[in-house]
Amino acid sequence: MNVLRPIAPDDSPTLLRWRNRPDVARFMYTDHVISPDEHSDWFARALTRTDAQYWIIVAEGQDVGLVSVTEIDREHETCSWAFYVADASARGHGVGAFTEYTTLNVVFDDLGTRKLSCEVLASNPTVVQMHERFGFVREGLFRAQVLKAGKAADVHRLGLLREEWADVRETHRVALLEKGIITT
């Protein structure tokens, strides 16, 4: 069974280890090794921010990744999100689909968001395609937006509106139920 649980103070060492894994960092904007002090500052903010929420992805009882919903703007009913599955053994088993489906429900139902956005490095087409399968629309390309390994990298901007999610939610729910990825 998969769940999302809010981050807790005890998660800090695990998150630092995950954030510095090369297979995770290559898809993040941050390119350098994150120091314990830098991580400690980030984590303290993550625990107290009122414009963000963070969850640990738990798959089959094991912590395997992180979801972040940030830039929560209650006036305009918008926010952004990102996630990663740090445990390579959890990849390819529906954890990403579970995470996307569950997070979209939280964002649109619990947070009352009207629009959800995300940014994905162009070097990560698998995630761009997964977001598009869940209804996200490419809204733009930020050319040479970040530096990765000293080279300029493009970033895709994607967005999903509440009504677009409502149009495809049931189809995804049924498909994930049939695959045993969700239970309700």
Sort 147 into a burial class: Cβ within 10 Å, 0-12 / 13-18 / 19+. Answer: exposed
Please give the pLDDT value at position 89.
87
pLDDT of residue 184: 87
Helix (H) or strand (E) segment spanning residue 60:
none
Q: What kind and span of H or E run contains 26? A: none
Q: Tens of pLDDT along 157-183?
A: 999 999 999 999 999 999 999 999 999
Using the structure block, give the residue that is written with the tokens 């090794």.
Answer: 33
Domain 2-178 has CATH 3.40.630.30: yes
Residue 49's pLDDT is 96
Distance CA 69, CA 83 (A): 9
CB proximity list for 31: less than 8 A, separation 6 or greater: 25, 146, 147, 148, 149
Query: What does the alpha-carbon distance between residue 172 and residue 176 come to, in Å, rounded to a whole number?
Result: 6
Instruction: Tell me the angle at which helices 125-133 and 95-105 cross, rounded to the nearest 10 degrees.
Output: 50
Q: Could you tell me the mean pLDDT of each successive run of 10 residues in the chain, 184 residues long?
A: 95 98 93 96 97 97 97 98 92 94 98 98 97 98 96 98 98 96 91
Residue position matching structure tokens 């630092």: 16
Q: What is the pLDDT of residue 88?
A: 85
